[in-house]
Chain A
């Protein structure tokens, strides 16, 4: 059984076909890298997988379960988490509250109007552990607005990991990071256990190629090359459309 199965996925905005019959099979535990120039349809593909956009044609399945007609929130409950290319967090809240909100999203507690959130010790301890996992435990009570860009990237990853996803979609996790921050995030991603399947969009080939086992190259909404690192790097089409020949 594949972890993520995408079949013939198509999406158009008006006359612009953003994804054209994308087929993708990601095995459980795999680290898949999706590369391609700007406008290739990578982030749109993620939005289609998570349900933030509805496809015109095609299907998405998670461990054999059909997702195509499910709303985005249901997909999160089935084990699909993501991070965003443009950091999408709660800037007025502390780091701990950001991660707590992530955990609360999958907990029946989220409907409770009578309990006090700050007394939910189990939930808060889980959030603290998630922050410790990305090396931010000591900053848990700091407002997000007072953190660096790299720290926010790590909060995004902490929020996604806190949900114990089966498939994790990372949209340019290294974008905008300094050399040191890239190293930290890379170490963090290497430490994610194999029971989490990772699909990652990334432009930084130096960092991303170390992580990826298989690579899909997208161009004008299509997957044009797919294979192992060696195969993809050696393919003349990759050089032509992405690496600049």
Chain B
């Protein structure tokens, strides 16, 4: 067994054992929240890390899926129908987002996604007949798949863990596929990729859809987690947090966004109980990361460990794929 596989199995064992070693339902729920935001951050990372496109509107898509579930349930839909509807609505929303924002790259893309995210936030806030405005929409009960009561914190955690692992697997397959290589190529040399025969716009469009799918999955989990959705979830700060999760953990890696999500959620939910100005703490942590590990926590830690143990960087895989924890080529 390779060291990587052993590490992955150990991490899986730790995650599976969370309800036994984490004290109390509150902290188990915090772990669920970490996994939900990890899926969200993976979605954001598909664009930032692998497509080179920074989106400041992803909270809008996240909230769109959440609202779709909540409104569908409030209208009398079944759980499965509500989830299917939420996925469809979020994918349509993502397609519209992508069609509009991919007219530009760089700053232009950021500004268009920001504007689109703000439009969705505005709709959630002002379309009172549909969203109940600032009051938000509640979800009466979580689903009970196969009779498994998700109202119990540990049960909900396990359901979230399963979805998280599936999302992680999907992201892993995606970035190691020929399409993932094509996407990384469009990030690094779009002009060259075009000349090599690639449809750069369409590749980016499909990447947006995959990113939107992961974001929608996270949004659906979130609305079941909080059993409530309000415009605050779609706010610009929520989109910025997604970007910070990715950048602080390490963009272009699969582990980085998970670590970044854990960092943000822990500071927001745990450290805030002890520190009044927890926003300052979060800011200070980000400044420290940018100064000492500009590539993000995961690639930065990998670099420091290698230096400490005087290890040589891993030889690239035959097609140049990164070693685990290293940024994608």
Tell me the A residues contacting B by CB distance below 8 Å: 50, 52, 71-73, 76-77, 82, 84, 88-94, 96-97, 100-102, 104-107, 109-118, 120, 124, 141, 143, 159, 163
Give the docked Cα–Cα distance between A89 and B185 (Å): 10
Known: A73-B198, A73-B199. A118 touches B321 (CB 8 A): yes
Q: Mark B175-200, 1 if CB is under 8 A from A, else 0.
A: 01111111001001101111111111
Nearest-neighbor residue (CB-CB) of A90 within chain B: B188
Verify A94–B319 contact, CB threshold 8 A.
yes
Scoring B178, B191, B193 by chain A CB atoms within 10 A of each residue's CB, the highest score goes to: B178
Residue from B178, B180, B189, B200 in contact with A88 in the complex, judged by beta carbons closer than 8 Å = B189
Residue from B176, B192, B193, B329 in contact with A97 in the complex, judged by beta carbons closer than 8 Å = B329
- The number of inter-chain residue pairs (CB within 8 angstroms) is 115
| Interface range on chain B (Cβ under 8 Å from partner) | 20 to 34
Nearest-neighbor residue (CB-CB) of A159 within chain B: B196
Closest CB-CB distance, B171 to chain A, in whole Å? 11
Q: Which residues of the partner chain B approach A92 to less than 8 Å between Cβ atoms?
A: 188, 320, 329
Nearest-neighbor residue (CB-CB) of B202 within chain A: A111
- Judge whether B315 is part of the interface by a CB distance below 8 angstroms: yes
Known: A109-B178, A110-B179, A117-B181. A89 touches B192 (CB 8 A): yes
Verify A116–B198 contact, CB threshold 8 A.
no
Verify A118–B194 contact, CB threshold 8 A.
no
Q: Which residues of the partner chain A approach B198 to less than 8 Å between Cβ atoms?
A: 73, 105, 110
Give the docked Cα–Cα distance between A163 and B318 (Å): 20
Closest CB-CB distance, A132 to chain B, in whole Å? 15
Nearest-neighbor residue (CB-CB) of B194 within chain A: A72
- Judge whether B174 is part of the interface by a CB distance below 8 angstroms: yes
Verify A117–B176 contact, CB threshold 8 A.
yes
Nearest-neighbor residue (CB-CB) of B193 within chain A: A105
Give the docked Cα–Cα distance between A92 and B316 (Å): 10
Verify B199–A93 contact, CB threshold 8 A.
no
Known: A101-B181, A110-B182, A143-B316. A93 touches B329 (CB 8 A): yes
Closest CB-CB distance, A204 to chain B, in whole Å? 24
Verify A163–B210 contact, CB threshold 8 A.
no
